[in-house]
Structure 1
Amino acid sequence: MNLTLKTVEEFSRRHRYDINLSKSSCIRVDPKSPDPSPDFILEGTCIPPDTSTTNHGVYRDTKCKVNTKDKIELGRRTAYSLMGAGFSGKSGLKQSVKANLWSTFVVPRMLYALEVLPYSQADLKALEAFQLKTLKQVQHLADGTSNIAALSLLGILPIRAQLHKNTLNL
């Protein structure tokens, strides 16, 4: 790891940009390892170990778990900010417009970086439950309506299929 930090330091000098050490942090992913964590040194300053960090909008902690609640909340906020009052009202946006907004903006924000993070089946079930509940609400369908109907009426892929598609495109 220190070799990587030396390479980063050399590259930053060569291309004349500064690395903000106050925003740099490192987390130990395998806390069960018997080796004590080594000191990571960047530009002569020791980077203290941390329990969590965010890099390019991807939250990581020592457990390497996906924060599903935050992903769902981000999807909910994105949907309501895009659709506003037309989200659940019958006099709002057309169904095709809602489906296009959902597929283009909401799903990519919810699934951002999931193709590279380890996720569980419980995480997928929670994301799929949120998608189905929201799509039924958007289409004014009863809660007892079949899940495949809610998806196929709008032509939207299930979360699991979208995630597999993103992984294959990686």
Structure 2
Amino acid sequence: MNLMLKTVEVFSRRHRYDINPSKSSCIRVNPKSPDPSPDFILEGTCIPLDTSTTHIGVYRNTKCKVNTKNKIELGRCTAYWLMGAGFIGKNGLKQSVKAHLWSTFVVPRMLYTLEVLPYSQADLKALEAFQLKTLKQVQHLADRTYNVAALSLLGICLFELNYTKTHLICTTV
């Protein structure tokens, strides 16, 4: 690891950009032994060992699991941001436009980083439940309406199919 940090240091000097060691952190993913790891040094400064960190919007911790609650909260916030455009109001947009907004803005934000983090079926079920509940609210349908009806009226796929499509696109390119 120190060799990799030394390579980063040399590369940053060569291409004239700075890496701030005080803003850098390191995590041990799935630590097998309780032994402390050696000190990682970048530009003469020791990088602290943390339990969680964020890099380019990707939240990682030592267990390297998807934080489903944060994903649902991000999707909810995105949907609320779209309310001003008539996303949920009765006198708002057409159903086809609402479906397009959902597929274009909300789903990609919730799918971001899922292709690089290990997930479980429970994670996908929670995201699917959020999608179904929100789509029923958007269409002013009762909670007991069939899930297939809520999806087919807007022409939206299941969340798991959207994830699979995104994952295939990322792995085949």
The TM-score by the shorter chain falls in which range?
A: over 0.9
Which runs of structure 2 are paired with 1:1-170 in the superposition (5 Å)?
A: 1-33=1-33, 35-84=35-84, 86-170=86-170
Percent identity of equivalent pairs: 82
For residues 63-108 of structure 1, what are the alpha-carbon distances to aligned partners after superposition, in whole Å with 9 as ceiling and x for unaligned?
1111111111110111110233723321111111111110001000
Amino acid at match of 2:131: Q
What letter matches 1:74 in structure 2? L
Distance 1:108 1:102 in 2: 9
Equivalent residue of 2:128, what SS?
helix
- The answer as to whether partners of 1:26 and 1:50 remain within 8 angstroms in 2 is yes
Distance 1:169 1:33 in 2: 37
Measure the CA separation in 2 of the matches of 1:115 and 1:149: 28
Q: What residue identity is the alignment partner of 1:100? A: H
Offset, 1:125: 0.7
> Equivalents in 1 of 2:2, 2:128: separation in Å?
41
- Tell me, which stretches of 5 or more residues in structure 2 are unaligned? none
2:100 aligns to what SS in structure 1?
helix
Cα deviation, residue 35, structure 1: 4.6
Contact 1:88 1:137 in 2 (8 A): yes
Q: CA deviation at 1:120?
A: 1.0
Q: What is the alpha-carbon root mean square deviation over aligned residues?
A: 1.3
TM-score (norm 2): 0.93
Separation (CA, whole Å) in 2 of partners of 1:134 and 1:34: 44
TM-score normalised over the length of structure 1: 0.95
Residue 128 of structure 1 contacts residue 159 of structure 1 at CA under 8 Å; is this kept in 2? yes
Matched residues in 2 for 1:139 and 1:86: separation?
A: 12
**CA distance in 2: counterparts of 1:3 and 1:167, whole angstroms:** 32
Instruction: Specify the code of the residue in structure 2 equivalent to 1:78.
Output: T
- The amino acid of 2:152's aligned partner reads S
> 8 Å contact 1:27–1:62 — kept in the other structure?
yes
> How many equivalent residue pairs?
170
Q: Is the 8 A contact 2:83 2:89 kept in 1?
A: no
